[in-house]
């Protein structure tokens, strides 16, 4: 997945991946994250565009191992997504996956499995919601069945490990 750009060029990656409780006194790189969250409007009209730079950046952060940072950016996009919209459900699933990936990093496999299960539940509720064609919306461009199958496969394992984290960009069509 390419790094999205803003008016001044590509968004930079955070200087480090923040892991609560492990950062040896380092806090999250809030300055870098603020560059992405500043791109999020106060509210999206109708749907969240699949190519919105903050959304793409949030997904790319996850794929580069910046799980906590991914969750922060995706939560900003979620907060601006239309209320009761399908994008909010898919974004909630992506946020849960980023959080589960973070739990795997700190070797909390049971917590990660619960979060993967919650994300799977969100995707199932999304599939029961009627789709309204909007063109280039996040939900319409995201291969939900592929992510659902991947979550089911992960949850079918006897024990999750650090290697079981999910890269969202590997699923998303370019």
Question: Which secondary-structure segment (H or E) carries 105?
Answer: helix 86-105
pLDDT of residue 132: 66
Q: Domains, the chain, ranges and CATH?
A: 31-164 (1.10.3450.10)
Between CA 38 and CA 145 the distance in angstroms is 31
Q: What is the pLDDT along the chain (174 residues), one digit of tens a residue?
A: 444 444 456 899 999 999 988 756 678 999 999 999 999 999 999 999 999 999 999 999 999 999 999 999 999 999 999 998 899 999 999 999 999 999 999 999 999 999 999 999 999 999 887 766 667 899 999 999 999 999 999 999 999 999 999 999 877 643
Give how far Cα 84 sits from Cα of 3, 80, 115, 144, Å. 29, 12, 21, 18
pLDDT of residue 117: 98
Between strands 9-10 and 5-6, the pairing is: antiparallel
Cα-based angle 137, 39, 51 (whole degrees, multiple of 5): 25
What is the signed CA dihedral for 114, 160, 140, 74, rounded to 10 degrees? Answer: 70
Between CA 134 and CA 72 the distance in angstroms is 26
Between CA 52 and CA 127 the distance in angstroms is 23
């Amino acid at each position: 997945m390419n790094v999205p750009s803003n008016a001044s060029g590509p968004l930079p990656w955070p200087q480090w991946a923040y892991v609560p409780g492990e950062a040896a006194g380092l806090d999250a790189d809030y300055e870098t994250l603020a560059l992405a969250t500043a791109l999020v409007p106060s509210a999206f009209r109708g749907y969240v565009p699949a190519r919105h730079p903050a959304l793409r950046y949030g997904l790319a952060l996850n794929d580069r191992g910046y799980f906590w940072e991914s969750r922060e950016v995706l939560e900003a996009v979620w907060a601006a997504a239309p209320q009761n919209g399908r994008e909010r459900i898919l974004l909630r699933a992506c946020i849960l996956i980023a959080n589960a990936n973070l739990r795997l990093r700190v070797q909390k496999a049971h917590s990660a499995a619960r979060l993967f299960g919650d994300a799977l539940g969100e995707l199932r509720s999304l599939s029961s919601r009627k789709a309204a064609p909007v063109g280039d919306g996040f939900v319409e461009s995201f291969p939900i069945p592929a992510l659902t199958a991947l979550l089911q496969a992960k949850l079918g394992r006897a024990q999750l490990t650090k290697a079981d984290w999910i890269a969202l960009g590997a699923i998303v069509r370019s």
